[in-house]
Amino acid sequence: MSKTEVTLGIDIGGTNTAMAIVDNDGNILAKESIPTRAMDPAADLFKRLFEKFNHLYEPLKEKYYDLVGIGIGAPNANYYKGTIENPPNLNWGMVDVIGLVKEYYNLPIVVTNDANAAALGEMQFGVAKGMKNFVQITLGTGLGSGIIVNGELMYGADGFAGEMGHMTIVRDGRKCACGKRGCLETYVSATGIKRTAYEMLCDMTDKSGMREIPYNNLNAKKIYDAAISGDKVAQAAFKFTGRLLGQAMADVVALLSPEAFIVFGGLAKSGDLLLEPTSKHLENNLLRVFKGKIKILESGLPEGDAAVLGSAALIWNEIKQKN
Amino acid sequence: MSKTEVTLGIDIGGTNTAMAIVDNDGNILAKESIPTRAMDPAADLFKRLFEKFNHLYEPLKEKYYDLVGIGIGAPNANYYKGTIENPPNLNWGMVDVIGLVKEYYNLPIVVTNDANAAALGEMQFGVAKGMKNFVQITLGTGLGSGIIVNGELMYGADGFAGEMGHMTIVRDGRKCACGKRGCLETYVSATGIKRTAYEMLCDMTDKSGMREIPYNNLNAKKIYDAAISGDKVAQAAFKFTGRLLGQAMADVVALLSPEAFIVFGGLAKSGDLLLEPTSKHLENNLLRVFKGKIKILESGLPEGDAAVLGSAALIWNEIKQKN
């Protein structure tokens, strides 16, 4: 009986670290999540992670499944060096991830940032199957992006390409966590739309239930609910957010000529409320040669599994390239 | 005696069409230029072009040189289709270039736009030798750019990637020939700096020799000469132009993580007058991870030959990939 190859996809987050054993078609055979414990050393996390993994893998091994590689998505991961460098929210400093993991399994191991992994996940298992040029955008607390060019993830000279969230969309605009001002993610993200909603509350005179909610309690979901129930201020916040996303996309198209943008994450689930103005302002700002050609698609991956599927896609992609 | 392989590089411009016979090291063995005659059909141009070429090639053939391919740089060229589509300044409509050229030589033939060809020229024969990720910027009447990712020219889904000149740098800014407003090339190009110089004449109260020159007579060279001789308005125009170029470069870095920008063309020869403010504002707008790492280099190719060398590099690149 021939063995079925599987990979381990790991997604390291500030709070939890998820893992899944994934076959070549994107089927998840087993999955688990453990607390990351941000203040502990990275080595502790991998010790706990592989104890848990061995429990998951043992019964699969008996059924002739064979682990062939490990893919890891993490903030501030450097693909070229195999390191994670001063990740925000983790007390790690500089970590040689591949070295740490090799202590447990001496297999092909690849690490990249979570947004890049998500793009590969869409290409192998999601709505971007068959596409060779597209941009994946994850709308969470910030705006992450992964860019596929000629069927390959674009890492750039440094391994840090794909930071669409830090393009300047408003000169001298809002303060960003990165230290700059006016970055796209200060407008187009869950926290961005909240900042916009509060600006709109100041600017507009319309009644809004959001005027009863303290800043720290408002979130993208509440703005969405307000907009759906007719709140004009919330609707204006979505229109503004979509406009800036569309304008930024048009600049990206001028440079990259992608076939599509794939949007993912909480805010992306707002559907037409966000994507209708996005699409309109993308079209309005495109060069003639691109008009009517650029697709905006919602992610094809289940939200809970997308990160680990992306990490698994990362290592599947590497293994395929070597064969 | 073994034969030495050469290629033919052709650069089609609105006024003149240049050709050169180029070896694998970028040496030009023969070159010639003929009028394009914009109102005549494309077939006429290629007929005249190959008559001239045969005269150049005949003596080389006798010395055991062997033509192995033809590269063509032209405005609005589509790499994927092998066509030139409604080029500005040429009365051609849609032209099947590869079909036309095959009537003369049944060899590998590739066509792309002139900015893309220039990027390949820098990679094979110029200052970008050995680089795998960089952006070539040509500052002429407009701003052309060619982008190399992972050692390959980025064509994108449509074959039209690399239009950095049409990123929006000023929202609702100057009217562009493309129909949009605020495109980078309306500020950063020979015509862009002229528009800026006139705005500065209106805004500033300083004396300036440029106040004696009618709009249609002012050009980038005159603004350069004025700046060098101490004209404050001209100096301000260069500072402003450099600032916008630096800001746009920072956005490109966030997306692409290139090793360098290579600048070429008349305005690029202004040296520090342009590149000092460019570099300063690039650095100021970079994410921390990129600071101090991005090079701005002046082109390594002789200006008169850069276009035909780029076209030759285009076909050399194709031939190497196939072997």
* Per-residue model confidence as pLDDT tens digits over B207-252: 999 999 999 999 999 999 999 999 999 999 999 999 999 999 999 9
What SS3 string covers chain A?
Answer: CCCEEEEEEEEECCCEEEEEEEECCCCEEEEEEEECCCCCCHHHHHHHHHHHHHHHHHHHHHCCEEEEEEEEECCCEECCCCEEECCCCCCCCEEEHHHHHHCCCCCCEEEECHHHHHHHHHHHHCCCCCCCCEEEEEECCCEEEEEEECCEECCCCCCCCCCHHHCECCCCCCECCCCCECEHHHCCCHHHHHHHHHHHHHHCCCCCHHHHCCHHHCCHHHHHHHHHCCCHHHHHHHHHHHHHHHHHHHHHHHHHCCCEEEEECHHHHHCHHHHHHHHHHHHHCCCHHHCCCCEEEECCCCCCCHHHHHHHHHHHHHHHHHC
Which residue matches tokens 């190859």? A5
SS3 call for B85: strand
Could you give the C-alpha distances from A253 to A101, A122, A133, B2, B48, in angstroms and in order?
Answer: 38, 19, 11, 47, 38
* Per-residue model confidence as pLDDT tens digits over B189-204: 999 999 999 999 999 9
Contacts of A154 in chain B (CB under 8 A): 149-150, 256-257
SS3 call for B32: strand
Beta strands, E only, B87-242 = 94-96, 109-112, 134-139, 143-149, 152-153
Q: How much is the ipTM here?
A: 0.93
Asked if B162's CB is within 8 angstroms of A255's CB, the reply is yes
The pLDDT score that the predictor gives to residue A320 is 85
A177 touches chain B (CB under 8 A): no
Chain B residue with the nearest C-alpha to that of A182? B285
Q: What is the C-alpha separation between B98 and B289, in angstroms, rounded?
A: 44
SS3 call for B44: helix
B154 touches chain A (CB under 8 A): yes
Chain A: nearest CA to B287, how far in angstroms? 7
Does the pLDDT of residue A323 top 80, yes or no? no
B179 touches chain A (CB under 8 A): yes
**pLDDT > 70: what percent of chain B?**
99
The pLDDT score that the predictor gives to residue B321 is 79
* Per-residue model confidence as pLDDT tens digits over A144-160: 999 999 999 999 998 88
Which of B181, B170, B223 is closest to B201 using CA atoms?
B223
Select the residue of A164, A259, A293 nearest B254 (Cβ to Cβ). A164
For residues A182 and A168, the answer to whether their CB atoms sit within 8 Å is yes
Average pLDDT over residues A92-118: 94
Which residue matches tokens 């650029």? A294
Does the pLDDT of residue A106 top 80, yes or no? yes
pLDDT band at B141 (very low <50, low <70, confident <90, very high): confident
Does the pLDDT of residue A88 top 80, yes or no? no
B251 touches chain A (CB under 8 A): yes
For residues A154 and A119, the answer to whether their CB atoms sit within 8 Å is no
Asked if B247's CB is within 8 angstroms of A157's CB, the reply is no
Contacts of A161 in chain B (CB under 8 A): 133, 255-257
The pLDDT score that the predictor gives to residue A89 is 77
Angle between helix axes B232-256 and B272-284 (nearest 10 degrees) is: 40
Chain B: nearest CA to A19, how far in angstroms? 28
What is the residue-wise DSSP string for B250-266?
A: HHHHHHH--SEEEEESG
Q: What is the C-alpha separation between B240 and A205, in angstroms, rounded?
A: 39
Contact residues, A window 118-137, toward B, CB-based 8 Å cutoff: 131-134
Q: What is the C-alpha separation between A151 and A161, in angstroms, rounded?
A: 15
pLDDT band at B290 (very low <50, low <70, confident <90, very high): very high
Picking from A282, A287, A290 by the largest number of B CB atoms within 10 A of its own CB, the best residue to mutate is A287
Q: B204 is written with which tokens?
A: 């500033």
pLDDT band at A300 (very low <50, low <70, confident <90, very high): confident
For residues B70 and B10, the answer to whether their CB atoms sit within 8 Å is yes
Q: What is the C-alpha separation between B72 and A237, in angstroms, rounded?
A: 49
The pLDDT score that the predictor gives to residue B85 is 87
* Per-residue model confidence as pLDDT tens digits over A250-259: 999 999 999 9
* Per-residue model confidence as pLDDT tens digits over A110-123: 999 889 999 999 99
Contacts of A164 in chain B (CB under 8 A): 254-255
For residues A36 and A13, the answer to whether their CB atoms sit within 8 Å is yes
The pLDDT score that the predictor gives to residue B87 is 82
Asked if A157's CB is within 8 angstroms of B259's CB, the reply is yes
Q: What are phi and psi of B73, to 5 degrees?
A: -105, 130
* Per-residue model confidence as pLDDT tens digits over B257-276: 999 999 998 899 899 999 99
Contacts of B250 in chain A (CB under 8 A): 168
Q: Which domains does chain A have, with CATH numbers?
A: 4-122+304-322 (3.30.420.40), 130-298 (3.30.420.40)
The pLDDT score that the predictor gives to residue B1 is 62
Q: What is the C-alpha separation between A252 and A274, in angstroms, rounded?
A: 18
pLDDT band at A304 (very low <50, low <70, confident <90, very high): confident
Q: B143 is written with which tokens?
A: 């701003």
Chain A: nearest CA to B293, how far in angstroms? 9
Q: What is the C-alpha separation between A272 and A269, in angstroms, rounded?
A: 9
Chain A residue with the nearest C-alpha to that of B153? A150
Does the pLDDT of residue B182 top 80, yes or no? yes
Stated as kind and residue range, the H or E segment containing B16 is: strand B16-23
pLDDT band at B45 (very low <50, low <70, confident <90, very high): very high
For chains A and B, CB pairs below 8 A equal: 122
B216 touches chain A (CB under 8 A): no
Which of B171, B213, B215, B55 is closest to A244 using CA atoms?
B171
The pLDDT score that the predictor gives to residue A1 is 62
DSSP B167: S
DSSP B168: B
The pLDDT score that the predictor gives to residue A191 is 94
A160 touches chain B (CB under 8 A): yes
Q: What is the C-alpha separation between B269 and B263, in angstroms, rounded?
A: 9
Average pLDDT, chain B: 94
Mention every residue, 6+ apart, whose C-beta is less than 8 A from residue B176.
Answer: B166, B182, B183, B185, B186
Asked if A166's CB is within 8 angstroms of B254's CB, the reply is yes
The pLDDT score that the predictor gives to residue A321 is 80
B156 touches chain A (CB under 8 A): yes
Average pLDDT, chain A: 94
Q: What is the C-alpha separation between A94 and A268, in angstroms, rounded?
A: 32
For residues A208 and A231, the answer to whether their CB atoms sit within 8 Å is yes
Chain B: nearest CA to A137, how far in angstroms? 12
A144 touches chain B (CB under 8 A): no
The pLDDT score that the predictor gives to residue A130 is 94
Residue A168 carries which side chain, given as an amino acid letter? Answer: T
Q: What is the C-alpha separation between B218 and B231, in angstroms, rounded?
A: 14
Q: B198 is written with which tokens?
A: 């006139």
A181 touches chain B (CB under 8 A): no
Q: What are phi and psi of B57, to 5 degrees?
A: -80, -30
Asked if A255's CB is within 8 angstroms of B163's CB, the reply is yes
pLDDT band at B89 (very low <50, low <70, confident <90, very high): confident
Picking from A167, A172, A183, A249 by the largest number of B CB atoms within 10 A of its own CB, the best residue to mutate is A167
Using only the alpha carbons of chain B, give its radius of gyration. 21
For residues B12 and B72, the answer to whether their CB atoms sit within 8 Å is yes
Contacts of B164 in chain A (CB under 8 A): 254-255
What is the residue-wise DSSP string for B193-210?
A: HHHHHHHHHHH--S--GG
Which of A55, A169, A276 is closest to B251 using CA atoms?
A169
A171 touches chain B (CB under 8 A): yes
For residues B208 and B226, the answer to whether their CB atoms sit within 8 Å is yes
Lowest average pLDDT, out of A122-126, B207-211, B318-322, goes to B318-322
pLDDT band at B70 (very low <50, low <70, confident <90, very high): very high
Sequence-distant contacts of B39-43: CB under 8 A, at least 24 apart: B39/B91, B40/B91, B41/B92, B42/B84, B42/B90, B42/B92, B42/B95, B42/B97, B42/B100, B43/B100
Select the residue of B156, B254, B290 nearest A256 (Cβ to Cβ). B156
pLDDT band at B48 (very low <50, low <70, confident <90, very high): very high
Asked if B259's CB is within 8 angstroms of A289's CB, the reply is no
Tell me the pairing of strands B4-12 and B65-73: parallel
For residues A79 and A117, the answer to whether their CB atoms sit within 8 Å is no
The pLDDT score that the predictor gives to residue A322 is 76
Using only the alpha carbons of chain A, give its radius of gyration. 21
Could you give the C-alpha distances from A177 to A89, A94, B98, B321, in angstroms and in order?
Answer: 13, 20, 51, 43
Give A78's strand partners. A83
Q: B202 is written with which tokens?
A: 């209106």
Alpha-helical regions (H) of B285-305: none
